[in-house]
Amino acid sequence: MPDSPSRLRSFARLGATTAVCAGLVITASATASAAPLISSVPAAPTAAPAPDVVDLGISDVLAQLEAGTTTSVALTQEYLDRIAAYDDPYADQPGLAAVILANPEALATAAELDAERAAGELRGPLHGVPILVKDNYATFDMPTTAGSASLHTYQTKVDSTAVERLRAAGAIIIAKTNMAEFAWHGTFTLSSERGRTNNPYNQLNSASGSSGGTGAAVAASYAPAGLGTDSCGSIVGPSAHQSLVGYRPTMGLTSVAGIVPLSVRQDVSGPMTKTVTDAALLMEVLAGYDPADPQTVIANEQSTDRYVEGLSDTALEGKRIGYVKWDFEEDPARPGLAETTALVDQAVADLEAQGAEIVEVPQFSRDFVSTVLKSGGWMDMQSSIDTFFATTDATWPEGLAELTEPADALTFSDVIADGKSSLEQGDIDYFTSFPDFPNEAYETAVAEQDAGKAAMDRFFVDNDLDALAMPTSATSATTDWAGTTFCDVGANTGVPTVSLPAGFTSTGAAVGLELAAPRSADAALLAMSYDYEQATLHRVAPASTPELVHLAPTPTPTPTPTATPAPAPAPAPATPAPAADGSNSLAATGAGQSAPLGLAGLALVAGGLIVGLVTVLKRRRPRAE
């Protein structure tokens, strides 16, 4: 097992130190900005109090930053503290194991963004907001493992397009999240790099996959939002089982350039958030044409900067929605069918209550999905990964490429030969069984998938549908399973789908409602989702990861005056009148600088000690409920 847990703790400790140092640097910089001559020294800044972050989404964080009630440094520190408190075993809980690596530069970046905000300079709509990314997104400043211990030190030289756009918008990449190794498993998240991710609503249960790390981390408020990838249920599944909004956009609307692939025929990048508004905001940042990803040409079919503007609590009025109802048999190994069905029935009734027309769609049958909406993916997994390694400028783990031929190229077979993979041998055999591309079987599968895409497009038109509604998962999470039921609908056809919180079973398991819309109707799907969300407001934060306990420092006692009066001071020299430009004329001679600077220095040291004390006190781990 790699040293990820210890790295997490060391980075958290480094973060606490950086927070104090960053405060000193910012204040010193502000003081120096009055150079060459200092006329006055402002009081040392008071460290922002540790904010409560459970239930905060991106919009909430932005509102607090804009109001000045918190800072990006304070928020980032709080999120790092939560990772340190809840990701490893604590109290009677096994811990989430949702994070592979906390960004050691997160606090320094937050301090820089705070300084820019104070100066009235904002990089973009996410300025100062911490965001999580799944560990298959390339990051130039942190390794990208795709969940593989063999890639522990695999370091790309550039960001993926999605991460590049997040940074340009002002986001702080706070951590990289655990994932099913190479994004393969869709029912649980297990990697050789971090182990198994647990569900914060019941830490004995699966967090689903393959983006279970992002799902668990966002649900547990390690950040207000995060990014996942989806090849068949890997965004919507973890979101459903952890009461989040998981958005799988129209395939090609968001770039997958720089993301370690599973299958280029299926992969998409998308947001996992606490609210639809936050998903829409992230989509405005992520969506759009990318020359590095030819599939993104489809983004030109829609306006990608108006998703938030288009949200409406009347969006469902007059919409025609087909309810996909299949008969399922109760499986003792996967409980919750009856309760999940009842909750989804109620969710569809809520859609109707908001003005939608609900119609049955018996023609959207198992046979239609399995024989018409076919997948062209999976056959290209090994080839896709090898191509990524070959075309990505990166530093490879020492000696890894030499394990199999050719010795001068890093390949999927090298990773497997390293003997650390958590993938089952049957899966490995499957991935390595396909001949080199192009080949006839693959071309046939691609043609069948393209025919299925056309059939899906016609289905919406022929049945005059604005959306389809269905359970994201027909049953609830168990110890080793938390999957999806209709992932083929979005993954095989490329139409946009979303999972929305639909309530909880009597055991506290989260349930999701999935909506699918016509290709490139992302704005309409987000608007309908918002209307449903605002009418129901089902999401409740998990009890196992509550707010951290914040202990205020002991106040300094006020000195009591003595009965004996102090000696009268010597007469002070006359204070010169301020100069016409408003500056103090003492500054012109340099007189009077030493005392104010000395006092400021003492204040900074004292402030740093207090921040350090508060940080130490905050690190006490509360017992989960």
Q: Which residues are catalytic?
A: 134, 210, 234
DSSP string, 339-357: HHHHHHHHHHHHHHHTTPE
Kindly give the residue spans of alpha helices, DSSP state H, lying in 208-359. 212-219, 236-241, 276-286, 337-353
CB atoms closer than 10 angstroms to residue 617: 14
CB 262 within 8 A of CB 509: no
Three-state SS at 290? strand
Half-sphere exposure of 40 (CA within 13 A, CB side): 6
DSSP string, 395-420: EPPTTGGGGSSSTTS--HHHHHHTT-
- 3-class secondary structure per residue, 549-611: CCCCCCCCCCCCCCCCCCCCCCCCCCCCCCCCCCCCCHHHHCCCCHHHHHHHHHHHHHHHHHH
* Continuous segment of H or E residues that includes residue 113: helix 106-118
Question: What distances in angstroms separate CA 603 from CA 28, 609, 615, one per listed residue?
Answer: 12, 10, 18
Measure the CA–CA gap between 128 and 114, rounded to whole angstroms: 7
Amino acid at 391: T
CB 161 within 8 A of CB 286: no
Measure the CA–CA gap between 545 and 452, rounded to whole angstroms: 43
Nearest to 517, CA basis, from 210, 372, 302: 302
Measure the CA–CA gap between 365 and 584, rounded to whole angstroms: 81
* Per-residue b or e along 388-420, where b marks 16 or more CB atoms closer than 10 Å to that residue's CB: bbeebebebbeebbebbeeeeebbbbbbbebeb
What are residue 322's DSSP bridge partners?
Answer: 359, 468
Instruction: Report the relative pairing of strands 467-471 and 510-516 from DSSP bridges.
Output: antiparallel
Question: Cis link prior to 542 (omega < 30° from 0)?
Answer: no
